[in-house]
């Protein structure tokens, strides 16, 4: 934390995550889907911990706790989430909705650690049709990706990604998406696609995972969530908009 | 040190649909049966329960119910001259894991293959001449006709409570059903599911264009139903989650709902989960298998389970790899085209539909199930004249909703950015208003598409991984293009606000995006041991007490999903084992 800039970014990140702190703590207990066998263990966890999730506002003065991400990474993901999901009349920004907390929990959980991946060698570079062929876990791959992007924007624009102006951030994301950003050791398009996918998962997943705070994305598109008993609605609302107030897993736990 | 257990009458390797049905039929006949399952045991009450089962991140994205590739995956290459790489994450297809198998997360589509699908080669030769079959296409006939298998299709439908509408009842064609289907002795056990607006719109336009729309037959009971085992299924809630998760309503058919409660209560049956079979023990000289060797994944202990009859009832890849690991049969060689194990690996063509947008229609895309769809069969199989088209086979064209889960379902018109302000506006605007005509196409075999063992990569037991050599060929591209354009014609006639472009692709098979879990072949049925692994009763040509179930026995893949025939074949084989084999063990067909 010697760099005042990094410290400022840390505070920004902490402030952003403040409101979703409680939900995030709950998500922490539940964010390991692949490791949650036998399944009834996770259901027990859910029923004992969910009351706070997504419904109760964080207690005043609660500090956002990140399990994994560094201050630099929090600042990076906040900037990325807010460009991919900008605040407008439909919803707050990606980080307002808890996407950075979601990313922290996912990368620190079983999925981030490489669950449900075959990791035997030898490793060889291959065409995209062969799928992911790196030895890195998602946690390692994302860490390397963030560092590579920040190195590139530092060299090109003089700042890490979160320190760029908004037009520069948008340009940088387009360069990554189009494969034009010359990252060291990281395929820019591959990293961008993984980043986009993780941000969208955070925005649209059940709020118990830390993102989609107040079911904001479900309200935005009109997805009712649970309990999804539509046997009667199928006929009653055929051709008519069916948009009850969405409910999440926590609402039924 | 392998612990040798007491011999049993029969052992099942895998406890999904086929293992459960076969175990039930053999215990019913008085045999002592052990069911081995590599994954965990589970029950719907504990594991398919609300509210946790409605979790798109856990089930759809993180693949909770899918086989763990760290344990065993396969390697993949496009052509025999390439070197293969492991499929490090499942994507294009999603094999199941645990008791119940892939039926825990299947979408429920339950077809009978067309009568011509049972005689694919001889039908094409008879109608068009042998020159119609392209060079390298090793298409074969099934080893039994549709008429022979009909009673067993019927039985499987009555096990599942399939919802549907007959189109050919004992030879009488019925409008509103599939008029192309083979004659059936009974209508479907439960009526069709309530269709969505999208299915109705498609159906109306298709009928106006002279096609024959019908509700997709699906094993999501439309109302409570008591099956042939006396077990009761619930009514489908059209929740929109069931193609990746279990069913909390017990409405989606599967071993847990339809068979296992009876089997678990039977003293002649013993279920052992966490039991990973590594190989079969084989007496080549006697042409008999003597049992299986498995590892208890909880303790690491290895056991030999001797058995009078061994039934391979794993997924396609498990069946093929166990034969190869056990030295049973001759591995297929694409150069000499000798050997039959691994031959005729096929898939299913998908990802070539067309998406449209209707700004004044509300589709409620989250209401439905994978089976809540209307379908036309007019361009399936050989239901249309292929003269001059340059390809054989076809596709079903379907429309409906029922997977509107928003992480994975966010359609926007072409040209919309994937993120940012415009993306967000378009996503909010169009979520309710998109409709896709989906296609599922047949995939006929090619001499260069096959399964074998990989020389480099190993599974957690130290065995070589299975290697898939697979790519699309010209017949596939032409089929997809022709059928997509037919779908687009219907789509345009539906008069959308925004018409999408048919998603027709050339280029190599991509193993990443989900396409279908309908891998077939590798242990195919036939009348000649040189070009097949099992005879018409699914009995191995190389060991008369070894029976191989499932879609690995299909000589090629039709456009339809494989579960209906897979269930029918299991009943067909089981009946022959009980009626004939138990009395006089030995080859049921002389080669």
- Give how far Cα A186 sits from Cα of A108, A136, B126, B155, Å: 21, 12, 56, 55
Q: Which of B105, B123, B325, B518 is catalytic?
A: B518
Q: Please answer yes or no on whether B88 and A119 come within 8 Å at the CB atom.
A: yes
Q: Please answer yes or no on whether B89 and A116 come within 8 Å at the CB atom.
A: yes
Helix (H, G, I), strand (E, B) or coil at B214: strand
Going by pLDDT thresholds of 50, 70 and 90, the confidence category of residue A5 is: very low
Going by pLDDT thresholds of 50, 70 and 90, the confidence category of residue A134 is: very high
- Nearest chain A CA: its distance from B260 CA (Å): 20
pLDDT digit string, tens, across residues A183-241: 999 999 999 999 999 999 999 999 999 999 999 999 999 999 999 999 999 999 999 99
Number of domains in chain A: 1
- Nearest chain B CA: its distance from A120 CA (Å): 7
Q: State how far the Cα of B62 lies from the Cα of B408, in Å rounded to an integer.
A: 12
Q: A4 φ, ψ to 5°?
A: -60, -30
Q: Where is pLDDT greater, at B341 or A51?
A: B341
pLDDT value, residue A41: 35
- Nearest chain A CA: its distance from B559 CA (Å): 23
Q: State how far the Cα of A209 lies from the Cα of B567, in Å rounded to an integer.
A: 39
Q: How far apart are the first and last CA of chain A?
A: 40
| Chain A residues near residue B63 by CB distance under 8 angstroms | 116
Residue ranges of alpha helices (H) inside A93-248 are 99-108, 138-157, 166-177, 188-204, 216-221, 233-236
Q: B403 φ, ψ to 5°?
A: -145, 45
Q: Please answer yes or no on whether A116 and B63 come within 8 Å at the CB atom.
A: yes
Interface of B with A in 190-219 (CB under 8 A): 193-194, 196-197, 200
Nearest to A105 by CA among A34, A30, A193: A30
Question: What number of other Cβ atoms are within 10 A of residue B46's Cβ?
Answer: 12
Task: Specify whether the CB–CB gap between B407 and B240 falls below 8 A.
Answer: no
Q: Is the pLDDT of residue A31 over 60?
A: no
Q: Please answer yes or no on whether B364 and A241 come within 8 Å at the CB atom.
A: yes
pLDDT digit string, tens, across residues A70-109: 999 999 999 999 999 999 999 999 999 999 999 999 999 9
pLDDT value, residue A253: 87
- Give how far Cα A74 sits from Cα of A28, A91, A106, A141, A163, Å: 17, 21, 14, 16, 13
Q: State how far the Cα of A174 lies from the Cα of A165, in Å rounded to an integer.
A: 14
Pair of tokens at residue A23: 């939900």
Pairing between strand B354-357 and B373-376? unpaired
pLDDT value, residue B505: 79
Going by pLDDT thresholds of 50, 70 and 90, the confidence category of residue A37 is: very low
Nearest to A246 by CA among A84, A54, A92: A54
Q: State how far the Cα of A101 lies from the Cα of A13, in Å rounded to an integer.
A: 10
Which member of B197, B235, B431 has the closest CB to residue A231? B235
Q: State how far the Cα of B23 lies from the Cα of B35, in Å rounded to an integer.
A: 7
- Nearest chain B CA: its distance from A251 CA (Å): 9
pLDDT value, residue B13: 98
- Buried b / exposed e along B548-586 (16+ C-beta atoms within 10 A): bbbbbbbbbbbbbbbbbbbbbbbbbbbbbbbeebbeeee
Domain that holds residue A73: 4-252
Q: What DSSP line would sit under B441-452, residue for residue?
A: E-B---TT-EEE
Going by pLDDT thresholds of 50, 70 and 90, the confidence category of residue A25 is: very low
Digit-by-digit pLDDT tens for chain B (591 residues) are 899 999 999 999 999 999 999 999 999 999 999 999 999 999 999 999 999 999 999 999 999 999 999 999 999 999 999 999 999 999 999 999 999 999 999 999 999 999 999 999 999 999 999 999 999 999 999 999 999 999 999 999 999 999 999 999 999 999 999 999 999 999 999 999 999 999 999 999 999 999 999 999 999 999 999 999 999 999 999 999 999 999 999 999 999 999 999 999 999 999 999 999 999 999 999 999 999 999 999 999 999 999 999 999 999 999 999 999 999 999 999 999 999 999 999 999 998 899 999 999 999 999 999 999 999 999 999 999 999 999 999 999 999 999 899 999 999 999 999 999 999 999 999 999 999 999 999 999 999 999 999 999 999 999 999 999 999 999 999 999 999 999 999 999 999 999 999 988 789 999 999 999 999 999 999 999 999 999 999 999 999 999 999 999 999 999 999 999 999 999 999 999 999 999 999 999 998
Q: What DSSP line would sit under B217-236, residue for residue?
A: PBSB-SS-EE-TTS-EE---
Q: Which residues pair with B173 in a beta bridge?
A: B168
Interface contact A87, partner B, CB < 8 A: no
Which member of B49, B407, B511 has the closest CB to residue A201? B407
Q: Is the pLDDT of residue A45 over 70?
A: no
- Give how far Cα B103 sits from Cα of A97, B108, B192, B334, B343, Å: 36, 8, 20, 32, 25
Interface contact B416, partner A, CB < 8 A: no
Interface contact A167, partner B, CB < 8 A: no
Chain B residue nearest residue A244, CA to CA: B364
- Nearest chain A CA: its distance from B243 CA (Å): 15
pLDDT value, residue A111: 98
Chain A residue nearest residue B52, CA to CA: A249
pLDDT value, residue A64: 67
Q: Please answer yes or no on whether A131 and B364 come within 8 Å at the CB atom.
A: no
Interface contact B235, partner A, CB < 8 A: yes
Q: What DSSP line would sit under A61-98, residue for residue?
A: TPPP--SS--HHHHHHHHHHHHHHS--SSS---TTTTT
Q: How large is the ipTM?
A: 0.96
Q: State how far the Cα of B225 lies from the Cα of B230, in Å rounded to an integer.
A: 9
| Cα B565 from chain centre | 9
| Chain B residues near residue A88 by CB distance under 8 angstroms | 421, 424-425
Residue identified by tokens 């009928």 is B207
| Chain A residues near residue B427 by CB distance under 8 angstroms | 220-221
pLDDT value, residue B172: 98
To the query of whether residue B518 is one of the catalytic residues in this protein, the response is yes
Average pLDDT of the residues of chain A: 82
């Amino acid at each position: 934390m010697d760099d005042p800039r990094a410290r400022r970014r840390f505070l920004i990140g902490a402030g952003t995550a403040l409101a979703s702190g409680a939900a995030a703590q709950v998500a922490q207990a539940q964010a390991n889907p692949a490791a949650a066998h036998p399944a009834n263990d996770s259901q027990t966890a859910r029923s004992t911990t969910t009351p706070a999730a997504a419904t109760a506002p964080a207690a005043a003065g609660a500090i956002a706790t990140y399990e994994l991400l560094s201050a630099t990474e929090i600042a990076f993901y906040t900037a990325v989430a807010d460009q991919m999901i900008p605040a407008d009349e439909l919803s707050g920004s990606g980080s307002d909705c808890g996407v950075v907390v979601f990313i922290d929990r996912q990368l620190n959980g079983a999925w981030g650690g490489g669950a449900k991946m075959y990791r035997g060698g030898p490793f060889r570079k291959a065409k995209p049709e062969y799928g992911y062929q790196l030895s890195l876990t998602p946690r390692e791959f994302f860490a390397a990706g963030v560092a590579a992007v920040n190195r590139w924007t530092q060299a090109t624009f003089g700042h890490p990604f979160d320190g760029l102006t908004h037009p520069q951030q948008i340009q940088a994301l387009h360069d990554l998406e189009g494969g034009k950003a010359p990252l060291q050791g990281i395929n820019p398009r591959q990293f961008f696609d993984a980043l986009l996918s993780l941000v969208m998962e955070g925005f649209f997943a059940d709020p118990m995972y830390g993102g989609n705070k107040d079911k904001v994305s479900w309200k935005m598109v009109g997805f009712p969530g649970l309990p999804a008993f539509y046997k009667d609605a199928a006929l009653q609302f055929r051709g008519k908009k069916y948009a009850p107030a969405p409910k999440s897993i926590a609402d039924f736990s | 040190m392998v612990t040798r257990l007491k011999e049993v009458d029969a052992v099942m390797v895998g406890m999904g649909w086929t293992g459960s049905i076969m175990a039930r039929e053999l215990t019913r006949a008085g045999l002592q049966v052990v069911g081995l399952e590599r994954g965990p045991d589970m029950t719907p009450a504990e594991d398919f329960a609300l509210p946790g089962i409605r979790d798109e991140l856990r089930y759809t994205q993180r693949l909770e119910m899918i086989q763990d590739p760290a344990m065993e995956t396969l390697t993949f290459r496009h052509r025999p001259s390439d070197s293969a790489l492991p499929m490090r994450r499942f994507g294009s297809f999603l094999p199941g894991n645990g008791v119940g198998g892939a039926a825990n997360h299947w979408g429920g589509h339950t077809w009978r293959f067309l009568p011509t699908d049972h005689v694919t080669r001889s039908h094409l030769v008879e109608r068009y001449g042998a020159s119609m079959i392209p060079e390298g296409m090793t298409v074969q006939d099934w080893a039994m006709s549709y008429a022979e298998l009909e009673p067993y299709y019927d039985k499987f439908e009555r096990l599942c409570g399939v919802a549907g509408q007959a189109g050919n009842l004992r030879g009488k064609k019925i409008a509103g059903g599939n008029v192309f289907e083979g004659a059936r002795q009974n209508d479907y056990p439960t009526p069709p599911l309530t269709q969505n607006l999208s299915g109705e719109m498609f159906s109306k336009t298709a009928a106006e264009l002279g096609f024959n729309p019908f509700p997709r037959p699906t094993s999501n009971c439309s109302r409570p139903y008591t099956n042939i085992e006396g077990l009761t299924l619930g009514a489908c809630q059209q929740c929109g989650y069931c193609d990746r998760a279990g069913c909390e309503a017990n409405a989606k058919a599967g071993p847990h709902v339809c068979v296992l409660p009876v089997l678990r209560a039977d003293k002649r049956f013993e279920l052992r989960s966490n039991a990973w079979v590594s190989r079969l023990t084989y007496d080549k000289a006697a042409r008999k298998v003597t049992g299986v060797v498995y590892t208890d994944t909880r303790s690491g202990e290895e056991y030999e389970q001797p058995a009078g009859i061994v039934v391979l009832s794993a997924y396609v890849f498990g069946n093929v790899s166990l034969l190869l690991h056990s030295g049973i049969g001759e591995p297929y060689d694409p150069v000499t085209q000798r050997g039959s194990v691994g031959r005729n690996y096929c898939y299913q063509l998908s990802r070539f539909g067309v998406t449209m947008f209707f700004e004044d229609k509300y589709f409620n895309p989250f209401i439905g199930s994978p089976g809540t769809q209307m379908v036309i069969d007019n361009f399936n199989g050989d239901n249309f004249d292929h003269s001059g088209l340059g390809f054989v086979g076809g596709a079903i064209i379907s429309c409906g909703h029922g997977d509107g889960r928003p992480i994975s379902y966010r359609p926007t018109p072409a040209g919309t950015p994937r993120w940012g302000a415009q993306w967000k506006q378009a996503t909010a605007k169009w979520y309710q208003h998109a409709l896709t005509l989906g296609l599922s196409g047949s995939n006929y075999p090619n001499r260069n598409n096959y399964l074998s063992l990989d020389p480099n990569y190993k599974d957690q037991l130290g065995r070589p991984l299975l290697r898939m050599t697979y790519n699309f060929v010209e017949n596939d591209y032409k089929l997809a293009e022709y059928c997509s354009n037919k779908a687009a014609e219907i789509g345009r006639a539906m008069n959308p606000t925004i018409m999408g472009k048919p998603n027709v692709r050339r280029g190599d098979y991509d193993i990443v995006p989900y396409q279908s879990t309908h891998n077939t072949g590798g242990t195919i049925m036939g009348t000649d041991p040189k070009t097949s692994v099992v005879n018409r009763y699914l009995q191995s040509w190389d060991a008369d007490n070894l029976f191989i179930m499932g879609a690995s026995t299909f000589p090629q893949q039709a456009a339809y999903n494989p579960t209906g025939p897979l269930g029918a074949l299991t009943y067909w084989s089981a009946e022959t084992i009980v009626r004939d084999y138990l009395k006089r063990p030995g080859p049921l067909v002389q080669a």
